[in-house]
């Protein structure tokens, strides 16, 4: 079954939704943006996450020693590099991070070459997101998923960018990813929406029978 990551969590109620849905990954954004959390808040929220959900720290061009220090202190299972990080940064992170902490690299996809460059960093997983000149991520914009089957991607990959309960099944069918990742598409008025999160997870997992139901 496709893995699901719910990203940009900031509130206790977001964690309650994640736990109820048993999402595979919960994302905390440490980069400057409207969803930024402090290490103190992320550490507290992470303590409320139940197994099997893993915690992902999202960073944009943050120096490797700072990423490693925050990830360890907050108990992150994964670090997601969402900027212009290169192979050297990934290598440095491998030396600094606690053993077992995965490294993911985002590609801002316009062409197949963007995916190839991200794969060359040697990251454990790729995260294929839309390109925007204005922001590193969390834009709600989609990209052309048809590029993905044309690429020989050497590691498991996530599709992200503008996903929602309405389009995630199409993304899974076209891109055949290891996982899907969403932020904007499960929000209402700038906050995570428990109903949209549930609809997204069910749609991604192909649990169509539940998709017409609300959550209490």
Ligand X SMILES: O=C(O)c1ccccc1N[C@@H]1O[C@H](COP(=O)(O)O)[C@@H](O)[C@H]1O
Which positions are annotated as active-site residues? Answer: 7, 129
Count Cβ atoms within 10 A of the Cβ of residue 96 and give its class: 0-12 exposed, 13-18 middle, 19 or more buried.
middle
Q: Measured from the CB of residue 56, what is the shortest distance to ligand X in angstroms?
A: 8
Q: Which is nearer to ligand X, 64 or 184 (CB)?
A: 184
Contact positions with ligand X (CB under 6 A) in 16-55 = 27, 29, 31, 33, 35
Piece in contact with ligand X (CB under 6 A), picked from 94-102, 117-125, 155-163, 190-198: 155-163
Q: Which is nearer to ligand X, 38 or 95 (CB)?
A: 38
Contact positions with ligand X (CB under 6 A) in 111-150 = 127, 129, 136-140
Binding mask 175-204 for ligand X (x = CB under 6 A): ------xxxxx-------------------
Q: Which is nearer to ligand X, 3 or 82 (CB)?
A: 82
- Apex 119 CA angle, 73 and 200, nearest 5: 65
- The answer to whether residues 108 and 84 touch, using CB atoms and an 8 Å cutoff, is no
Q: Which parts of the chain fold into alpha helices (H)?
A: 12-21, 39-48, 64-74, 87-96, 112-119, 168-175, 194-205, 208-211
Lookup: tokens for 78: 């994964």
- The answer to whether residues 55 and 76 touch, using CB atoms and an 8 Å cutoff, is yes
Instruction: By CB under 6 A, name the binding residues for ligand X.
Output: 7-8, 27, 29, 31, 33, 35, 58, 60, 82, 127, 129, 136-140, 160-163, 181-185
């Amino acid at each position: 079954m496709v893995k699901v990551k719910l990203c940009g969590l900031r509130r206790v109620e977001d964690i309650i939704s994640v736990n109820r849905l048993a999402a595979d990954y919960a994302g905390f954004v440490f980069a400057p943006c409207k969803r930024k959390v402090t290490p103190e808040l992320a550490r507290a929220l992470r303590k409320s996450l139940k197994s099997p959900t893993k915690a992902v720290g999202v960073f944009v061009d943050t120096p490797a020693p700072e990423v490693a220090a925050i990830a360890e202190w907050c108990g992150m299972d994964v670090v997601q590099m969402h900027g212009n990080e290169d192979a050297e940064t990934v290598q440095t992170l491998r030396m600094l991070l606690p053993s077992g902490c995965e490294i993911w690299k985002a590609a801002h996809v316009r062409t197949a070459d963007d995916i190839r460059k991200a794969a060359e960093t040697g990251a454990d997983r790729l995260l294929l997101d839309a390109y925007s000149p204005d922001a590193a991520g969390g834009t709600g914009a989609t990209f052309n998923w048809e590029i993905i089957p044309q690429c020989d991607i050497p590691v498991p990959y996530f599709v992200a960018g503008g996903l929602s309960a309405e389009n995630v099944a199409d993304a899974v069918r076209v891109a055949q990813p290891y996982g899907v990742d969403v932020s904007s598409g499960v929000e209402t008025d700038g906050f995570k929406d428990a109903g949209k999160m549930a609809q997204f997870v069910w749609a991604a997992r192909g649990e169509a029978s539940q998709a017409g139901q609300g959550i209490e």
